[in-house]
Amino acid sequence: MAGVLKFPDNFLWGTATSPTQVEGHVANEWTDYVASDGGHCRVACNHYHRYAEDVDWMAQLGVNAYRMGIEWSRLQAAPFAPLNGPELERYVDLLDRLKAAGITPMVVLHHFSNPPWITSAGGWLNPATVPAFVDYVTKLVSALKERVWLWNTFNEPDTYASLTYLLGGFPPFHKWRLLSYRKSIKHMAVAHVRASEVLRQAGNGGRTPEIGIAKNWTFFGPFQKHALWDRLLAGISHHAFNRFVLDAFLGGRRRAASTFLGVNYYGLTRFKNFEPMVPAGGACPKQLAQLGVVCDDMFERHPGGLGTVLRNFHRRYGLPLYITEHGSASSNENFRILDLTEHLRELHGAVEGGVDVRGFFYWSLLDNFEWQFGYSKKFGLLAVDFNDERLPRKMTRVGEFYRSICQARATTVAPRNSHAAIR
Taking the complex as a whole, the smallest distance from the CB of residue 23 to ligand NOJ amounts, in Å, to 13
Query: Cα separation of 260 and 150, whole Å?
Result: 10
Q: Does 361 bind ligand NOJ (CB under 6 A)?
A: no
Q: Which lies closer to ligand NOJ via its Cβ, residue 111 or residue 139?
A: 111
The one-letter amino acid code at 246 reads: L
User: What residues have CB less than 8 Å from 70, skipping those under 6 apart?
Assistant: 19, 91, 107, 108, 109, 140
Q: Does 54 bind ligand NOJ (CB under 6 A)?
A: no
Residue burial 384-402, b: 16+ Cβ < 10 Å; e: rest: bebeeeebebeebebbebb
x-marked contacts with ligand NOJ along 318-357 as a string, rule CB under 6 A: -------x--------------------------------
The answer to whether the CB of 239 falls within 8 A of the CB of 253 is: no
Residue 48: C-alpha distances to residues 22, 26, 84, 90 (Å) = 8, 9, 15, 9
Taking the complex as a whole, the smallest distance from the CB of residue 264 to ligand NOJ amounts, in Å, to 5
Taking the complex as a whole, the smallest distance from the CB of residue 409 to ligand NOJ amounts, in Å, to 25
Q: Which lies closer to ligand NOJ via its Cβ, residue 88 or residue 106?
A: 106
Q: Does 370 bind ligand NOJ (CB under 6 A)?
A: yes
Dihedral sign for Cα atoms in the order 336, 338, 339, 344: positive
DSSP 274-306: TEE-SGGGT--HHHHHHTT--B-SSSB--HHHH
Q: Which lies closer to ligand NOJ via its Cβ, residue 23 or residue 156?
A: 156
Positions marked catalytic: 156
Q: Does 23 bind ligand NOJ (CB under 6 A)?
A: no
x-marked contacts with ligand NOJ along 103-142 as a string, rule CB under 6 A: ----------------------------------------
DSSP 197-209: HHHHHH-BTTBPP
Taking the complex as a whole, the smallest distance from the CB of residue 143 to ligand NOJ amounts, in Å, to 25
Taking the complex as a whole, the smallest distance from the CB of residue 301 to ligand NOJ amounts, in Å, to 13
Q: Which of 5, 14, 18, 45 binds ligand NOJ (CB under 6 A)?
A: 18
Query: What is the total count of residues that contact ligand NOJ (CB under 6 A)?
Result: 9
Query: Cα separation of 337 and 416, whole Å?
Result: 14
Taking the complex as a whole, the smallest distance from the CB of residue 1 to ligand NOJ amounts, in Å, to 34
Q: How far apart are the first and last CA of the chain?
A: 20
Q: Does 156 bind ligand NOJ (CB under 6 A)?
A: yes
DSSP 344: H
Q: Which of 76, 114, 152, 155 binds ligand NOJ (CB under 6 A)?
A: 155
Interacting residues with ligand NOJ (CB under 6 A): 18, 21, 155-156, 264, 298, 325, 363, 370
